[in-house]
Amino acid sequence: MKDIQKEITPIADDDLFIVLNFPNAKFDYPVHYHPDYEINLVMNTSGTRIIGDNEESFTSPDLVMTGPNLPHAWRVVSDENHTITIQFSDKLLDFPMFNKRLFSSIKQLLIESQRGISFSDETKATVIEKIIRLTRLQGFHTVLEFLSILYDLSISNRQVLVSNRYDPGEIVAKSKSRRISKVCEYIDKHHHEPMKLSDVASLVNMSESAFSHFFKKKTGCTFIDYLNNVRISHASQLLSDTTHPVTEICYTCGFNNSSNFIRIFKKIKGMTPSEYRTHIQQILIKY
């Protein structure tokens, strides 16, 4: 799966969890992974769900939990849906309270989610209203509702989706060759700096022409498209996490002029940076 993409989620260091409430999710994102846990509730549509090496049809409502770095994607037959996504840090298992006896079932849930979990109709009937209610709550009570959702899921009937032979870490690593992995790590670390094709090609001792063909073959996109995607991902995070002006974010993420930044952002995200900031403020709730 060479087309697996890494996603940068809008979770900040001081967020316990975030909720993304999509009235009509487009589901146009490719198979992707991120370092956070995710509970995904999809309603009022049907289609195909991809979790690791599991690909199967789903109908509404679909309730799935994925662990850190587990590739996933949904393909729906209609954009007329209601989707709610809860994301929380992979550091949750490090919280001391999860070593206490009362949290043992939740701890086991988090471990199992690393292979992807779908839930029974009985569980959906119990949890869906709580997930919807979570989008309306504010303050400390959101923490109680969040933990209540995790507990209900932890004592439920559930099905592990990914086969025993599937290793998410290995699959993600194999989706890139050693040389491509080196380049991608460099791009991610230095995306905010001026970057030329010749500089990156020299990292793997290749000519510009040979590297361009090699990179396109291994990743499915050109070097500049990949670099722009990384920069736009970081820009999206800054637009959701900060009030920095769009122009400042443009230069912070490595673009050299605002008009070019806005053009590329709209091409990738389907909206301008300002429109995206307004949109994400409408669907994103941080706790």
What pLDDT, in 10s, does the model give residues 214-232? 888 877 788 999 899 899 9
pLDDT for 11:
86
pLDDT for 212:
92
Token digits for 148? 């209540």
CA dist 195 → 184, 202, 219 (Å): 13, 12, 18
Please say if the pLDDT value at position 101 is more than 80.
yes
Q: Are residues 14 and 124 in the same domain?
A: yes
Classified as helix, coil or strand, 17 is strand
What mean pLDDT is predicted for residues 133-142? Answer: 91
Q: Are residues 10 and 78 in the same domain?
A: yes
Of 77-86, 124-133, 255-264, least confident by mean pLDDT is: 77-86
What mean pLDDT is predicted for residues 83-112? Answer: 91
Q: Are residues 94 and 202 in the same domain?
A: no
Structural domain of residue 164, as residue ranges?
Answer: 5-168
The separation between CA 240 and the C-alpha centre of its own chain, rounded to angstroms, equals 14
The pairing of beta strand 32-33 with beta strand 5-6 = parallel
Q: Which residues are CB-neighbours of 258 under 8 A, at least 6 positions away?
A: 246, 247, 250
Please say if the pLDDT value at position 1 is more than 50.
no
Q: Are residues 159 and 188 in the same domain?
A: no
What mean pLDDT is predicted for residues 44-61? Answer: 94
What mean pLDDT is predicted for residues 237-254? Answer: 94
The separation between CA 90 and the C-alpha centre of its own chain, rounded to angstroms, equals 12
Of 73-82, 83-92, 168-177, least confident by mean pLDDT is: 168-177
Q: What is the pLDDT of residues 172-205, one digit of tens each?
A: 555 556 788 888 889 989 999 999 999 899 999 9
First to last CA, the chain: 34
Pick the last residue of a domain from 123, 146, 168.
168
Pick the last residue of a domain from 140, 168, 196.
168
Nearest Cα to Cα of residue 285 among 133, 149, 154: 133
Domain count, the chain: 2
pLDDT for 189:
92
Q: Are residues 196 and 140 in the same domain?
A: no
Mean per-residue pLDDT of the chain: 89
Helix ranges restricted to H, the chain: 104-112, 121-134, 141-154, 168-174, 178-190, 197-203, 208-219, 223-241, 246-252, 258-269, 273-283
CATH number for position 192: 1.10.10.60
Q: Are residues 37 and 54 in the same domain?
A: yes
CATH number for position 80: 2.60.120.10
Q: Are residues 84 and 156 in the same domain?
A: yes
Q: Are residues 161 and 183 in the same domain?
A: no
Q: Are residues 142 and 243 in the same domain?
A: no
Token digits for 20? 């993304």
Q: What is the pLDDT of residues 71-80, one digit of tens each?
A: 999 999 887 8
Please say if the pLDDT value at position 105 is more than 90.
yes
Judge contact between 154 and 108, C-beta under 8 A. yes
Please say if the pLDDT value at position 103 is more than 80.
yes
Q: Are residues 183 and 161 in the same domain?
A: no
Q: Is the peptide bond before 245 cis (omega within 30 degrees of 0)?
A: no
Q: Are residues 150 and 246 in the same domain?
A: no
Please say if the pLDDT value at position 170 is more than 70.
no
Sign of the CA dihedral with 136 first, then 140, 146, and 151 last: negative
Q: Are residues 152 and 273 in the same domain?
A: no
Pick the last residue of a domain from 102, 136, 168.
168
Kindly report the length of the chain: 287
